[in-house]
Amino acid sequence: MVNQTKQAELSKDTLVAMYQEMLLARRIDERMWLLNRAGSIPFVVSCQGQEVAQIAASYALNKDEDFVLPYYRDLGVVLHFGMTVKEVFLQAYGKAEDPNSGGRQMPSHYGQKKNRIVTGSSPVTTQVPHAAGFALASKMEKRNVVSFVTLGEGSSNQGDFHEGLNFAAVHKLPMIVMVENNKYAISVPLSRQVACENISDRAIGYGIPGVTVDGNDALEIYRVVKEAHERALNGEGPTLIETISYRLTPHSSDDDDMTYRTKDEVADHRTLDGIAQFRDMLIEQGYLTEAEDQEIEEKIKQEINEATDYAENAPYAGVSTLTDHVYGQGGE
Amino acid sequence: MVNQTKQAELSKDTLVAMYQEMLLARRIDERMWLLNRAGSIPFVVSCQGQEVAQIAASYALNKDEDFVLPYYRDLGVVLHFGMTVKEVFLQAYGKAEDPNSGGRQMPSHYGQKKNRIVTGSSPVTTQVPHAAGFALASKMEKRNVVSFVTLGEGSSNQGDFHEGLNFAAVHKLPMIVMVENNKYAISVPLSRQVACENISDRAIGYGIPGVTVDGNDALEIYRVVKEAHERALNGEGPTLIETISYRLTPHSSDDDDMTYRTKDEVADHRTLDGIAQFRDMLIEQGYLTEAEDQEIEEKIKQEINEATDYAENAPYAGVSTLTDHVYGQGGE
Amino acid sequence: MAVLTYIQAVNQALREELERDEKVFILGEDVGQRGGVFLATDGLYEQFGEERVLDTPLAESAIAGVGIGAAMYGMKPVAEMQFADFIMPAINQIISEAARIRYRSNNDWNCPITIRAPYGAGVHGGLYHSQSIEAIFANQPGLKIVMPSSPYDAKGLLKSAIRDEDPVLFLEHKRAYRLLKEEVPEEDYTLPIGKAETKRSGEDVTVITYGLCVHFAKQAAEKLEQEGISTEILDLRTVYPLDQQAIIEAASKTGKVLLVTEDNKEGSILGEVAAIISEHCLYDLDAPVKRLAGPDTPATPFAAPLEKAFLVNADKIEQAIRELAEF
Amino acid sequence: MAVLTYIQAVNQALREELERDEKVFILGEDVGQRGGVFLATDGLYEQFGEERVLDTPLAESAIAGVGIGAAMYGMKPVAEMQFADFIMPAINQIISEAARIRYRSNNDWNCPITIRAPYGAGVHGGLYHSQSIEAIFANQPGLKIVMPSSPYDAKGLLKSAIRDEDPVLFLEHKRAYRLLKEEVPEEDYTLPIGKAETKRSGEDVTVITYGLCVHFAKQAAEKLEQEGISTEILDLRTVYPLDQQAIIEAASKTGKVLLVTEDNKEGSILGEVAAIISEHCLYDLDAPVKRLAGPDTPATPFAAPLEKAFLVNADKIEQAIRELAEF
Ligand SMILES: Cc1ncc(C[n+]2csc(CCOP(=O)(O)OP(=O)(O)O)c2C)c(N)n1
Ligand SMILES: Cc1ncc(C[n+]2csc(CCOP(=O)(O)OP(=O)(O)O)c2C)c(N)n1
Ligand SMILES: [Mg+2]
Ligand SMILES: [Mg+2]
């Protein structure tokens, strides 16, 4: 449930803008599945169920200064940090103009230097030490900049999680680690991934604060990320935040989740959808009318249509570029 | 201080035997330094300051069934599990008869299958997942066997610590992890290795019990390891134990610790030596007389002399054996 | 005899070994209820239970390391790396531990673990679901690396790997999983690790290769036969340690040698093959040894045209054989 | 000009680069107050403070990974692996990340990190303080591997590595640290990465090698000169990617080629060198390419007699050159 007592910090306009971004991420993701099932794009890996956490957290960051190290589900984060809808579709199609990788990486492997979205890979959790490196560098340069890194709860079992958090804690680095706990790592449920109550219980082992929040509670997520951000800027070191949500789609378009969970389980969680809750709250509060909501949906749809068309028709990188950029061309 | 109210569990004879083993480890280690400084052996890495914890913990294990995965300082553990003094000197000299490796590994890289001392390497912390593997296998075979693994506090920052403990916790494996916190990782003090209060604070992140004990308090260590052992045998999973001690020697014979700590700091800790405390307690309790203590010292000295002579005169492995045992010879 | 795909052959080998020896067990990510993301372990969780087909936490160093511990204990673990690309976090365990255990303990301990991993490109996997990783490990005494080229070989070699008393890295080409089908005996059989196999006998040009490229080489050879070019194909099968004798014989036989790999050219295992040939066959060669391999760029881009340009295929092999034949 | 040991030359290069560019910083285990276990960073903590000479927790994947993050940010980190053997836990960061960052981002990001590590045997280090590790990495496009053979080269190449805009693995032979001394200019100079260097000109036999083995090869060549055998020595300096042109020229010049490495024979980088020669120099060779390397056993036992038996030395090189000369 959305906690209404905490809205004070955020204006009506901001709340509506947040809603728009959540919805945009969701609608893009839905379109990706349609395109995949129609055979137009080979692969989708979804944000569905995690948009609220991603957008709420992003709003608590400084989008003009901070570095983000998103993982493959973080469509919400990268949209907030400035990737355009067109660019998102270009990467889904793997076209030359894709700013993430020019079609070299699989979809959802984000990276865009001008927006401080740090390039990511497929092996999970390698981005956690990188985030510590960005935080270390900005601390060395005495800049007021935070690095924000995300990962799944399954990925929090990798050695790099431990090593990266410990390093950041010892050196009191301005870093926020957000674990988006969606209860599954592909087919493996939380109970076979970890034996602790909360992923945030791992924080004490690094001597840093750890918080678990409802991943559908935008205002609470905003609050804890904002606090973590302040601590980071104050030189008080990193924070570990866990958002609890549920993966509403199969792991990816290559997965068949019905081999390990039931339709009912998924359906139950769909009824708790955080975006719908957020919209209801906005309507209840009088911040949004049904008509305005419809307008938003329309605008999003049009933007997505245009982006799809553009990306679909855009050229692939030429074969002669295959060997470009293995190394730089000299100079520093 | 030795807590006298907890002796009940251990008989006088056992306590005296424990003392003898601690002292034996210490005296062997001291001899190694003499041999090294005299140019007879190229390398020493010491147990000094950690013998009490090693012997007390070993007594809480089942030395006829359990598997131990010691690290390089665990001379006490391997002596208790059956490695002879002669064998210890053979490995220090790197001679053919060394049961650990036939002179292939550096000193203190223990391993002896008949005594269930699992072969170890130099890269720290790799033994933690191995211990989980032994625990998993014995659980699969429904045997009442525990795996006991140790490491330094610096080494608890390696990814393998995290991955190994998490695995063992999720699968509720009969494993005891003992971190011998001696305040330094070579030159790096605890405060630059971790930011948590206790290494045992990491346990909650795996949903398992974590305990910190005074590494000079033999009876308390015995008690917590015994409890962990019972939990393991009851199917309640792993335990993380931290013993707090102080590294009384330089990191190794290649180290000069005066470049990063003071003589005074080391001298202060020498006055708290756990073995001396333990002897004093035995004498106070009337379990040991000064004369008996002297006899023990004499016996140890003679054993060490004999072992040194033997090892010094033993042959190296022949050069023709260099390429032996890279692979097995067939069969299963 | 049933016709099986490559992945079915893997699955059958696993099933039969689990049935044969209760020390055998499987561990990895999603290998349990899901049956593996490629279905290599399909049905095994149901048949053997969760104790013998273990879903692990997402942590490759632990998968390898726990397997190594269990193997030292005396079990026969078969660890799965979901993609070969994700073996990287486990390299310390595989190289520093598994490969060194027998030698460092002077034969006191050993480590009979099998580590399976799907490698290779051609399924739009992008940079991190496409790599050839064998070269990283092909310099580690104590380790064996097996890369079967067909369903029949996959079954027989996987059984040998599981029964081997030393660690075996078992690399399966993920595009072969569904692409390759052939008759595979239902009964138990094993194939020798450490031995290359002549897949085709010929007189004009020798192709030495392994894995999925054997399939492409066969296609090329069949086509060239119609032009009167006769091709010998040696399938390395075990890429470390190499079967030197077989390489020397195959190279000497025709005097014209084409080495093929999907891996990047520089530093691939073909370098070692070329070195063996240049040490032993100088006077038997009628042409310089030729290598056909991927370019020296990360394997491989996601975009289909770039992926295709990266990969070795039957046409490229055919062209290279023809050039050698005409040399 | 001062005579410096190899380790002093490394130290001087680090000091000068820290002075020159405030984006340069050092991180690793015991690099601070202790000055490094080999004293590579001696005095730097005192001069530049703990912010620029960082003692890290004992965790190599973090040392590499944090360095990679800082490098992407725009810093010039120099990460130390205490022993090359302990780079294994960091391989995922080095191969999957550092080496791939420029390519995968289509040139948007890059990763100018230098990773230094002492490799090699001869100091009673046993199995885990003795290994040659270059072959593990010598198949990874995006990475460069530099292995200097002398103090002069170490200083000039380390400066180039630090200034390089891409990741460089910089491997220093730990026995060379105190064994090798020579005049090293106090002023700033750099040496080119990617280029081999002819260390000695000769007519009868070409030795191609790198690292400490260059020193042994020189000793052997001097001795053989008195017998009238003239030896060309090519120092690879950068072992990945290789300087093909220099290899081809050096091999063709004498037609008799000895390749030398301290690494295990099978799968060492010499395989690639041999492959280049066999592709390009077949008709210039007067004898089969010969390799002198360690045996295929884990490097290397602790016991002195076994260690000695494992290692390449000047005598073994001399013998091999003589055999080739007499061929
Ligand atoms: C090192 C590594 N091992 C395995 C994989 C394959 N893989 C991709 S996503 C995934 C599950 C991730 O689960 P979680 O961290 O919970 O994130 P989620 O997908 O649930 O958001 C796995 C096993 C990988 N990408 N990297
Ligand atoms: C993976 C790895 N990195 C580095 C080293 C070098 N090294 C050996 S011991 C040591 C310090 C260990 O400290 P700690 O874990 O606290 O154990 P202690 O020696 O204090 O008992 C280091 C850095 C190593 N052996 N393995
Ligand atoms: Mg998840
Ligand atoms: Mg310590």
Q: What is the pLDDT of residue A332?
A: 40
Which of C117, C151, C184 marks a domain boundary?
C184
Place of tokens 């066999």: D278
For residues A8 and D227, the model is more confident at D227
Helix (H) or strand (E) holding D7: helix D6-20
Q: What is the pLDDT of residue C1?
A: 87
Give me the residue from C86, C126, C295 closest to A323, CB to CB.
C295
Helix (H) or strand (E) holding B26: helix B12-37
Q: Do D68 and D169 fall into the same domain?
A: yes
Place of tokens 């080496």: D99
Q: Confirm whether pTM is higher than 0.90.
A: yes
- Using the mean position of ligand 1's atoms as its centre, give its distance from the Cα of residue C210 in Å: 30
Residue type, D97: E
Q: How many domains does chain C have?
A: 2
CA distance D28 to chain A (A): 12
- Closest-CA residue, ligand 2 atom 3, reads D86
Is residue D182 within 8 Å of D4, Cβ to Cβ? yes
Nearest C-alpha in D relative to C103: D298
Nearest C-alpha in C relative to B165: C62
Residue C243 within a domain: yes
Q: What is the pLDDT of residue B6?
A: 55
The total number of residues written for chain D in this structure: 327
- Which tokens go with A320? 């002669």
Residue D103 within a domain: yes
Q: Do C122 and C223 fall into the same domain?
A: no
Q: Do C7 and C82 fall into the same domain?
A: yes
Evaluate the CA torsion angle C171, C174, C175, C179 in order and state its sign. positive
Query: ipTM of the assembly?
Result: 0.98
Q: Which of B242, D61, B180 is nearest to A165 (CA)?
A: D61
Contacts of residue C240, defined as CB under 8 A and 6 or more positions apart, other chains included, come to C134, C137, C138, C139, C140, C143, C144, C145, C269, D266, D267
Helix (H) or strand (E) holding A176: strand A175-181
**Distance (Å, rounded) from C-alpha A210 to C-alpha A198?**
9
Helix (H) or strand (E) holding B241: strand B239-244
Is pLDDT at A215 greater than 80 in this prediction?
yes
Q: What is the pLDDT of residue D288?
A: 97
Q: Give me the mean pLDDT over the B276-283 stretch.
A: 97
Of B104, B162, B171, B251, the catalytic one is B251
* β-sheet bridge partners, residue D117: D171
Q: Is A213 helix (H, G, I), strand (E, B) or coil?
A: strand
CA distance D189 to chain C (A): 30
CA atoms within 13 A on the CB side of B108: 22
Q: Which domain holds residue D140?
A: 2-184
Burial D185-224 (b: 16+ CB within 10 A, else e): eeeeebbebbebbebbebebbbbbbbbbbbbbbbebbebb
The total number of residues written for chain B in this structure: 332
**What confidence tier does B49 reach under pLDDT thresholds 50, 70, 90?**
very high
Based on the residue annotation, tell me whether B171 is a catalytic residue of this protein. no
Kindly determine whether residue C104 and residue B67, on different chains, have CB atoms separated by under 8 Å. no
Is pLDDT at A6 greater than 90 in this prediction?
no
Q: How many C-beta neighbours within 10 Å does residue D1 have?
A: 10
Average pLDDT over all residues of chain D: 98
Of B260, B287, B310, B316, the catalytic one is B260
Q: What is the 8-class DSSP label of residue C168?
A: E
**Distance (Å, rounded) from C-alpha B104 to C-alpha B106?**
7
> What does the CA dihedral B179, B184, B189, B191 come to, rounded to 10 degrees?
10
H helical segments located in C147-233: 151-163, 176-179, 212-225
Q: What is the pLDDT of residue C203?
A: 98
Q: What is the 8-class DSSP label of residue A316?
A: P
Place of tokens 């699992």: B118
Burial A122-135 (b: 16+ CB within 10 A, else e): bbbbbbbbbbbbbb
Which of D162, D184, D206 marks a domain boundary?
D184
CA atoms within 13 A on the CB side of B299: 10
How far apart, in Å, are the Cα atoms of D225 and each of A130, D58, D201, D208, D236?
A: 53, 49, 11, 17, 22
Rg of chain D on CA atoms, in Å: 19
Q: Do D160 and D278 fall into the same domain?
A: no
Based on the residue annotation, tell me whether C215 is a catalytic residue of this protein. no
Q: Which CATH class is domain B4-314?
A: alpha beta
Q: Do D63 and D121 fall into the same domain?
A: yes
Q: Is D275 helix (H, G, I), strand (E, B) or coil?
A: helix
Residue type, A122: S
Ligand closest to the CA atom of residue B121 = 2
Q: Do D23 and D167 fall into the same domain?
A: yes
Cis peptide before D241 (omega within 30 of 0): yes
Chain A residues inside the 8 Å CB shell of C297? 322-323, 326
Which of C184, C218, C238 marks a domain boundary?
C184
Contacts of residue A89, defined as CB under 8 A and 6 or more positions apart, other chains included, come to A28, A304, A307, A308, A310, A311, A312
Is pLDDT at A5 greater than 90 in this prediction?
no
Burial B140-167 (b: 16+ CB within 10 A, else e): beeeebbbbbbbbbbbbbbbbbbbbbbb
Q: What is the pLDDT of residue A144?
A: 93
Which protein residues are within 6 Å of ligand 2, measured from CB? Answer: B 73, 122-124, 151-155, 182, 184-186, 247, 251; D 29, 58, 60, 82, 86, 89
pLDDT tens digits, one per residue of D288-299: 999 999 999 999
Residue C189 within a domain: no
| CATH of residue C294 | 3.40.50.920
**Distance (Å, rounded) from C-alpha C302 to C-alpha A122?**
12
Helix (H) or strand (E) holding A160: helix A159-170
Is pLDDT at B7 greater than 60 in this prediction?
no
Chain C residues inside the 8 Å CB shell of D127? 100, 103-104
The domain segmentation of chain B, as residue ranges, is: 4-314
Q: Do D275 and D215 fall into the same domain?
A: yes
Is residue A73 within 8 Å of A181, Cβ to Cβ? no
Residue C261 within a domain: yes
Which protein residues are within 6 Å of ligand 1, measured from CB? Answer: A 73, 122-124, 151-155, 182, 184-186, 247, 251; C 29, 58, 60, 82, 86, 89
End-to-end CA distance of chain A: 52
Strands D181-184 and D168-173: unpaired
Q: What is the 8-class DSSP label of residue C86?
A: G
Taking any CB pair shorter than 8 Å as contact, residues of chain B touching chain A are: 157-163, 166, 169-170, 172, 191-197, 201-208, 237
Q: Do D139 and D206 fall into the same domain?
A: no
**Burial zone of A38 (CB within 10 Å; 0-12 exposed, 13-18 middle, 19+ buried):** exposed
| CATH of residue C138 | 3.40.50.970
pLDDT tens digits, one per residue of B188-222: 999 999 999 999 999 999 999 999 999 999 999 99
Chain D residues inside the 8 Å CB shell of B326? 296-298
- Closest-CA residue, ligand 1 atom 12, reads A185
Kindly determine whether residue A122 and residue C302, on different chains, have CB atoms separated by under 8 Å. no
Kindly determine whether residue B167 and residue C110, on different chains, have CB atoms separated by under 8 Å. no
**Distance (Å, rounded) from C-alpha B176 to C-alpha B182?**
19
Q: Give me the mean pLDDT over the D131-157 stretch.
A: 98
Chain C residues inside the 8 Å CB shell of A42? 124
Is the CB of residue A185 less than 8 Å away from at least one CB of chain C?
Answer: yes
Q: Do C93 and C178 fall into the same domain?
A: yes
One digit per residue, the tens of pLDDT, for chain C of length 327 reads 899 999 999 999 999 999 999 999 999 999 999 999 999 999 999 999 999 999 999 999 999 999 999 999 999 999 999 999 999 999 999 999 999 999 999 999 999 999 999 999 999 999 999 999 999 999 999 999 999 999 999 999 999 999 999 999 999 999 999 999 999 999 999 999 999 999 999 999 999 999 999 999 999 999 999 999 999 999 999 999 999 999 999 999 999 999 999 999 999 999 999 999 999 999 999 999 999 999 999 999 999 999 999 999 999 999 999 999 999
pLDDT tens digits, one per residue of D4-31: 999 999 999 999 999 999 999 999 999 9
Is residue C314 within 8 Å of C219, Cβ to Cβ? yes
Is residue D259 within 8 Å of D273, Cβ to Cβ? yes
Contacts of residue B13, defined as CB under 8 A and 6 or more positions apart, other chains included, come to none
Q: Do D139 and D208 fall into the same domain?
A: no
Q: Do D209 and D108 fall into the same domain?
A: no
**Distance (Å, rounded) from C-alpha B186 to C-alpha B197?**
20
Q: Do D48 and D136 fall into the same domain?
A: yes
